[in-house]
Amino acid sequence: MTNKDELVQLARLAEQAERYSIGSHSKYTVSACRSSWRIISGIEQETLLDKYLIPKATTAESKIVYLEMKGDYYRYLTEITVGSEQQTILNDADTACRTANQAFDNALTGLDSIDDDSYRVWYVELFPHSSISSCQIPYNLTTCDFVYSVVVPRTNNISFVYNCIDIQGNNVIGVFTSNGTCESFQLNDEQIVSNYSTQDNFLIAIDGQGTGVYSIADDFVCFYQLYPTFELFVWPNTIGISPRGMHIGSNQDYAVVAGYCQSTPSSAVECGFYIRLNTSLSSPYSISKFNIAGVLYYPWSDPRVIRYMANSQTYTAQSVMSVSICWNTQQVLIGIQSLNTVLLYSLNDTHNPISTRQNGVGYMGFGKSVAWLDDTGEKAVILANTYIYSTYEWISSAVHIYNIESDGFSDSTQPILVYPNSQQVLLQMMAESLIRLSCSPAGNLGILDSLSNGVGILVAPPGYYPNTNIDVYATNSIPCNRGTNRTYAGIELCSPYSSSSMNCSEDSFCPYGAVGEVLYSAFETIEQIQEYPESPENTVFDDILMQNMFAFNVNSVHCLLVSPLVWVVLVMLIGLSVALFLTISEALYPEHHSMQDNVKKVFRKIDLIGEGEMWIGGLISAAIIVLVVSAYSFSNSFLRQYPIEDITHNSSFACDVTLRNAKFSTTTQQRWDPRRSTKESQTMFDLLNAQLFTLNIDLVQTAFTCDDQLYVQRFDGYETTIIPITKCQTKYNDTTLSLTILLPAQVISVRLVLPGLNTVGAIRIGLSGPAAEAEDGRFTLMALNFASTFVSSSLDQVLAESMTFPIELTEIVNQTDPLNSNDVSKFSGIWSSSLTVNSAQLFTNESQYTFLYRTTTNISITIEQNIFYIGNLQQPIARQTEVIFRSLLFTIVVLEVFGLIFLLIKLLFMPVFRTIHERLRQRSPKIHDSEIDDISKIKAENDIITKVIHENDQNFIKRKCHRRWSTTAIARKPCHD
């Protein structure tokens, strides 16, 4: 590009539509720089600018932008630095700004030597766009020095009408026509409105058939006939309005004009007129007046309450208004940007508006341009600019579309589309500042920016939306994103599916914006069991042994089978059965006594209680043996129930299947400096601190994919770096986006940035880490794997645009003492996680009116470590030596206790039993005297034998005769040696 071309390009930037100054251009350039700053804030800005952008800038315009961007970069750095470093940055920033200003001044200086006509053209763009649809018409074909506006017919007639001021200050109107191609445009006619001075407020509007143009200015009204001949009819302005906005629309007979009316010689107010058009017959006249100033009321704290205009004809950029009529509904929109307000009127009642909508206090710009989207009158398009009220400094621009038919029009009404948005960005050649918009009868939208660039947002068919991320002047149609749809043709975005339109099953999760069907079970919380067992109520082995030896639980078959008492009772029942058998056999077969004697002899030999004195003692001793054997078996099994991590099945030797030979204690202690530690457990802490963490994030029911520009930021003080996403994949019918990020540190703060307006229905966040060992398994680091799921209770809610998940990690160190005192302790460790978030703050209600405001979804995650750790100690309740000793002690105690019981029975209960037995026999009539004598003799003999037993040794007892008893008589036989 030559030097002349650079200067021409710069001059074009300086010449703004509505008399914008070169200072305004500088302001917009800075705004663009600030936007660029936001884009590259996450990378090395200075390196990018110095090494690539500035040296390779081939035009003055681009060099100015990059140098000013560098100046902004340094300015932002000064806000976060101090001292000498700040001064160094300030010096570099001044250098960048001076270089940018010098480049700009050099460009302006060269403009004086350039002919105006060399950089002023009529630029024409025909839609739909093609390679031959744009062209330039030499500006000097007309006499214009300054152009006010351009209008085009609603018909397919390729022509346009302009009004301007020539070099002598005359008010000029003219027309260009074409035979169907862009390059065939030519000036057909141009006429001067004679006898009137230069008009600061000079508006034109074309009728619905394209046959004539009406113009209204401060001092005159005119009709410019285009068909069948070019003629100009001029009348004085008798309506009494200084116009700021005018519209005719699809008809030929009526128009609406808005502007200012002089209410007193020293003040003017907002007003509007519904006027009748008469073509060339006579001057247009007012049918009714719109009561604008009389219906706008503001509180005393609102700066608009003291708005003042002395002369209605004084032009200012902020006083421009806009008007649009829909003849199908007989409704009219009047936008008053200086009041940040748009009024909706019915042509049948111009005194009272149907409704009004304002866009905040302290600003102006809402309603700078208004239009009906199409001829149906259902939807209104409003240019919602934002300027500072006191200075008219531009802040932002957006296009709002309201569905007035279904939603009404008030301060609380939400737009169904806001352009630009994160999905429909500004076209590449567009400036951020927008100044005009216009709509076609079919619903296509045209937008003009402050640099005179025009773009068309064209209607997309059902299931598609207009794509603005292109480098041409008109959009194309692309399919709706997953989870969204539109059933009609239009320029709006496709709306997310509502929760009720998905027809999902009860087991499926289908919130607002769902992209498919996914089961709740697919993203459940993953809990890692980290609870340490509590010690049993009884940790004394003696008590545990006694409880299990004498427990008797009839509620469980298992408890009955393992209860020693059950087996003792069973043995005693068997013994009683044997005793009963012997008694009966003696009574029935007294002559066959050898077998009974042998059995009794066996029982006497095992008598541990009476020392072989009575055979019945042997039966009791058998029960005691069962009890003692059960105690030894229980003790041996109980001993092996340690440590608990080696036990893989329930206990089968006791009624309580969870019985373990382990007791536990838990303490909370402050972490120490590992560099100075000599503790036995330090190796375990080293393994914990060396474990690598992997952050796992599952975004459930989202249209985000791995192809989107996702990235993860790490914040380390004032430094921000990018962490790579280790793995990205979609799951469960592409309803879930799963991200895996290997973290460079355990304590870290990261943010996942998801650009765009896609929603997220639910989220699952977790950490994982590998297991490890040291010293041949003495120290064991357990694998980390947990995840927490967050789901809203309402299907109409989605994840908010910004949220933070704080994860606190606590070290848990488990120490297991050895069963044998000669062995060493073993250690295991794991991280315990705590993720405390208020779910009500994570989610927000979403609808077709709110989702389009999304620009990014920011998910911040902070991982911190607790300054305390949890120490768990596992010890055996009883070691081997203790078990052996307690079992022997139990045997002795049982023998002593049963011996004592047997002695008490022998000394206390047996004499009583005998006495009762004798008395019963004495009272019985069936006992004969001879029998009584025999009994007495036998008793006396027994007394003698007892005395002899005590006097002689035990061998004498073995030689004594056997005595046989019967129910009717007692016979005695002599003894034999």
Q: Which of 597-606, 896-905, 939-948 has the lowest mean pLDDT?
A: 939-948
Q: Which residue in 931, 886, 295, 950 sits closest to 628, CA to CA?
A: 886
How far is Cα 859 from Cα 758, in angstroms, rounded to an integer? 14
What are the angstrom distances between the C-alpha of 606 and each of 158, 286, 610, 893, 897? 128, 134, 10, 18, 17
pLDDT in tens, 109-139: 555 555 555 568 888 877 666 667 778 899 9
Write out pLDDT tens, residues 296-343: 988 888 988 888 889 999 999 999 999 999 999 999 999 999 999 999
Per-residue model confidence (pLDDT) at position 952: 43
Residue 292: pLDDT over 50: yes
When pLDDT is averaged across residues 795-802 and rounded to a whole number, the result is: 92
CB atoms near residue 498 (< 10 Å):
17
Q: Is 110 exposed, middle or buried (0-12, 13-18, 19+ CB in 10 A)?
A: middle
Look at residues 745, 739, 743, 746 and name the one whose alpha carbon lies nearest to residue 859: 739
Type of residue found at 653 = F
pLDDT tens column, 238-262 = 999 999 999 999 999 999 999 999 9
Strand ranges, E, within 167-249? 171-177, 186-193, 202-206, 212-217, 220-225, 231-236, 242-247
Residue 404 has pLDDT above 90, yes or no: yes
* Residue at token pair 């006939």: 225
pLDDT given at position 253? 93
Q: Do residues 603 and 615 lie in contact, with contact meaning Cβ atoms separated by under 8 Å? A: yes
Q: How far apart are CA 608 and CA 619, in angstroms?
A: 10
CA–CA separation, 953 vs 951, rounded Å?
7
Structure tokens belonging to residue 275: 């006027």
Q: Residue 530: pLDDT band by 50, 70, 90 thresholds?
A: low
Rounded to 5°, angle at Cα 833 from 828 and 837: 175
CA triple 544-547-550, angle to 5 deg: 145
What pLDDT sits at residue 969? Answer: 34
pLDDT in tens, 909-945: 778 777 887 887 777 654 445 444 554 544 554 454 4
Torsion, Cα of 656, 661, 666, 669 (10° steps): -160
- Distances in Å between the Cα of 797 and the Cα atoms of 501, 515, 706, 845 are 15, 15, 24, 4
Q: What is the largest CA-CA distance in the chain?
A: 174
Q: What per-residue confidence (pLDDT) applies to 944?
A: 45
Instruction: Note whether 789 and 525 are within 8 A (CB).
Output: yes
Mean pLDDT of the chain: 82
Helix boundaries (H) for 220-314: none
Whether the predicted pLDDT of 5 surpasses 60: no
Classify 344 as helix, strand or coil.
Answer: strand
Tell me which DSSP letter residue 53 carries: I
Beta bridge partners of 501: none
Top-confidence residue, 905 or 802: 802
Range among 246-255, 522-531, 624-633 rated most confident: 246-255
User: Which residue ranges make up each domain of the chain?
Assistant: 33-109, 551-649+879-921, 664-876
- Judge whether 220 and 198 are in contact, CB under 8 Å: no
> How far is Cα 424 from Cα 426, in angstroms, rounded to an integer?
7
Does the pLDDT at position 558 exceed 60?
yes
| CA gap 688, 780 in Å, rounded | 10
Residue 9 has pLDDT above 50, yes or no: no
Q: What are the strands, taking DSSP E only, across 515-576?
A: 518-519
Query: Sign of the C-alpha dihedral, residues 259, 212, 278, 353?
Result: negative
CA distance 534 to 320: 79
CA–CA distance, 100 with 823 (Å, rounded to integer): 78
Q: Give me the pLDDT at residue 18, please.
A: 35
pLDDT at 85 over 70: no
Which H helix or E strand runs over 485? strand 484-485
| Percent of the chain whose pLDDT exceeds 70 | 78
Q: Are 553 and 647 contacting, i.e. CB atoms less than 8 angstroms apart?
A: no
CA–CA dist 815, 247 (Å, integer): 86
Stated length of the chain: 977
For residues 138 and 373, give the distance between their C-alpha atoms in angstroms, rounded to a whole number.
33
More confident residue, 678 or 282: 282
Of 488-502, 514-528, 608-622, the range with the lowest mean pLDDT is 608-622
Q: How far apart are CA 914 and CA 931, in angstroms?
A: 17
Lowest pLDDT segment from 364-368, 695-699, 886-890:
886-890
* CB contact at 8 A, 608 and 617: yes
Instruction: Give the residue among 442, 445, 394 at the shortest CA–CA distance from 418.
Output: 445
Confidence band, pLDDT 50/70/90 cuts, at residue 608: low
Of 442-451, 577-586, 934-943, the range with the lowest mean pLDDT is 934-943
